[in-house]
């Protein structure tokens, strides 16, 4: 059955390869990116004239506009893959004074998911990109009150998206499925090359697991879980994700920031 699938950060890396993989199977793939030029190039590479949506996810107003654009063109979305992410950047603050790593990696996908939930069916899926790099979240850093280095911000933002994946799964027990996925460590993405200075491992490793998370029956009853593709199995995220006080503090900040966009 043909699925309609929105992939953020789909102009390069794992996002683009996942889009190509899914489109080759006949699915209706919607591409998001920051640049019209890169979106056009990605659409040509994916083939089949996919719909494209431009938005800068470091700007929460543009995240809301992205949601509005999708809602205006679709009344049904089977899968949302929150793939876009940032690790190392010269501009660590948004115009609102927030940490750009938290905004792009955690807050923007949360806002986008909440806005698109009305058109995601109960048997649909939300696939969130987590990471093997996870660290306890400083709520002050989420609010932009504490400065973090690149790895600190990245690791905290990835635990934060894993935490809200679990929280949404509890809030929507009848579906859709919310699952956090570590696609594999040090894959050959632009982010890895620029951030770590290494060529990285085969991107297809990441694309294949995202395809499985989006479509495979093996993920049908996994809402709230974390899949570690380094270990090739479902596993436990950082222990802080099981600390009720820590989770509550993270979700309080996240909801307050997101509510300004509703």
Q: Predicted confidence band at 261 (pLDDT cuts at 50, 70, 90)?
A: low
Sign of torsion over alpha carbons 175, 218, 76, 169: positive
119 Cβ contact partners less than 8 Å away, ≥ 6 residues apart = 70, 71, 74, 75, 76, 77
Answer yes or no: is pLDDT of 28 > 80. Answer: yes
Q: What tokens does 74 get?
A: 């679709």
pLDDT at 88: 87
Poorest-pLDDT segment among 69-73, 89-93, 110-114: 89-93
- Average pLDDT of span 122-140: 98
Answer yes or no: is pLDDT of 6 > 80. Answer: yes
Helix %, strand %, coil % of the chain (to 5) = 50, 15, 40
| Residues in a beta bridge with 93 | 99
Q: How many domains does the chain have?
A: 1
Answer yes or no: is pLDDT of 192 > 50. Answer: no
Which residue segment(s) compose the domain that 164 sits in? 4-259
The answer to pTM > 0.85 is: yes
- Average pLDDT of span 46-55: 96
Q: Which stretches within 99-243 are classed as H helix?
A: 100-102, 108-116, 139-142, 150-171, 190-196, 204-215
Answer yes or no: is pLDDT of 236 > 70. Answer: yes
Q: What tokens does 156 get?
A: 């905290």
């Amino acid at each position: 059955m043909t699925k309609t699938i929105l992939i953020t950060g789909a102009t390069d890396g794992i996002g683009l390869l996942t889009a190509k993989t899914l489109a080759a199977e006949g699915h209706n793939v919607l591409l998001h990116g920051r640049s019209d030029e890169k979106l056009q190039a990605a659409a040509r590479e994916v083939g089949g004239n996919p719909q494209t949506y431009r938005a800068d996810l470091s700007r929460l107003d543009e995240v809301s506009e992205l949601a509005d654009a999708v809602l205006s063109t679709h009344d049904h979305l089977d899968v949302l893959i929150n793939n876009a992410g940032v690790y190392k950047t010269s501009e660590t603050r948004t115009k609102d004074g927030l940490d750009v790593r938290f905004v792009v990696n955690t807050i923007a996908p949360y806002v986008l998911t909440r806005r698109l939930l009305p058109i995601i069916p109960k048997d649909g899926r939300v696939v969130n990109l987590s990471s093997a790099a996870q660290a306890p979240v400083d709520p002050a850093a989420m609010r932009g009150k504490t400065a973090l280095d690149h790895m600190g911000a990245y690791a905290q933002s990835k635990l934060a998206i894993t935490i809200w994946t679990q929280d949404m799964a509890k809030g929507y027990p009848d579906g859709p499925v919310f699952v956090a996925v570590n696609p594999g460590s040090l894959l050959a993405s632009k982010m890895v090359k620029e951030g770590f200075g290494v060529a990285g491992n085969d991107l297809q490793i990441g694309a294949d697991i995202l395809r499985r998370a989006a479509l495979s029956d093996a993920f049908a009853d996994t809402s709230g879980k974390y899949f570690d593709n380094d270990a090739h199995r479902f596993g436990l995220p950082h222990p802080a994700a099981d600390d009720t006080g820590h989770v509550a503090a993270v979700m309080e900040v996240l909801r307050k920031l997101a509510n300004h966009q509703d």
